[in-house]
Amino acid sequence: MNIYLLRGLVREKEHWNWFKSYIEAQFPNANIVLLEIPGVGETCDQVSPDSFKEMVKFMRDKHEQSIVNGQENILMAMSLGGMIARVWLDTYPQDFKKVILVNTSFKGITPLFKRLRPLSLLRFINIFFTPSIESREKKILAMVSNNKVEREKLIDAWVEIQKKRPVRRKSFINQIKAALTSKVSIEMPKGVELLIIGAKGDGLCHYESSILLNKAWGGELKIHESAGHDLPIDDPNWLVTTIKNWYQK
């Protein structure tokens, strides 16, 4: 079994931090694959495309062998990654039979003011124009995580990630552009088992986005009572337990 993990806006595989070890503990026989959107991580020297289809093609080409040969493939995608995941399902419907969507939203299902809370938009603008890497990463962590203790543990690592593999501003803009302009199907995906997860403390994407998505697409819905946007940071134990319980049904 292969479990593919996909993060969101301008985040690379190292931003999973210790969450991979939690998944490995619950799924010891699984092969965990950390996906990266082009323009971040190993390809930070490139500019992200402004099309989800191009992002999907890039990632699938890179991992095609494990995807095609996998007896069972599970995709867990967060935030912007969830939008990309839907394009992946539409383009290559045979690749994944189980999909987990965490704190994501879709145009046509969720109102814009709940997809991106107004205060978060102002924070994005502020972060974009913050020159200091340390200040920028602190602001990002404060925006996505409600767990101050864990944020303090992560800040040095996140700053180091950006120093080693800085994301171009054009990549940031193109990923935002893709989110705003890409035509993502809002029809219920066929032949896929869905787990939709939201968090009531999400200050970036309102948790009702997950409820509306569940009403539109079905599947199983789970809502965390207090975590922020970055659930793998705020409560990894709850998240992996929720995933395993759903998988074992």
Q: Mind listing the domains of the chain with CATH numbers?
A: 2-247 (3.40.50.1820)
Residue 202 in this model has a pLDDT that exceeds 90: yes
More confident site: 127 or 154: 154
More confident site: 215 or 121: 215
Mean of all residue pLDDT scores within the chain:
93
Residue 119 in this model has a pLDDT that exceeds 70: no
Token reading at 211: 């409820």
Token reading at 233: 């940071």
Residues in contact with 167: Cβ distance below 8 Å, sequence separation at least 6, in sequence order: 10, 39, 40, 44
Residue range 141-186, pLDDT digits in tens: 999 999 999 999 999 999 999 999 999 999 999 998 998 887 778 8
Residue 49 in this model has a pLDDT that exceeds 70: yes
Residue range 97-110, pLDDT digits in tens: 999 999 999 988 98
pLDDT at res. 240: 98
Q: What percent of the chain has pLDDT over 90?
A: 80
Residue 88 in this model has a pLDDT that exceeds 70: yes
Query: Stretch 116-136: mean pLDDT, rounded?
Result: 80
Q: Are 103 and 79 in contact (CB under 8 A)?
A: yes
Residue 140 in this model has a pLDDT that exceeds 80: yes
- Our measurement of the distance from residue 222's CA atom to the centroid of its chain's CA atoms, rounded to an integer in Å, reads 16
Residue 118 in this model has a pLDDT that exceeds 70: no
Query: Stretch 21-47: mean pLDDT, rounded?
Result: 96
The helix/strand/coil state of 223 is: strand
Query: Stretch 200-228: mean pLDDT, rounded?
Result: 95
Q: Are 72 and 98 in contact (CB under 8 A)?
A: yes
pLDDT at res. 115: 79
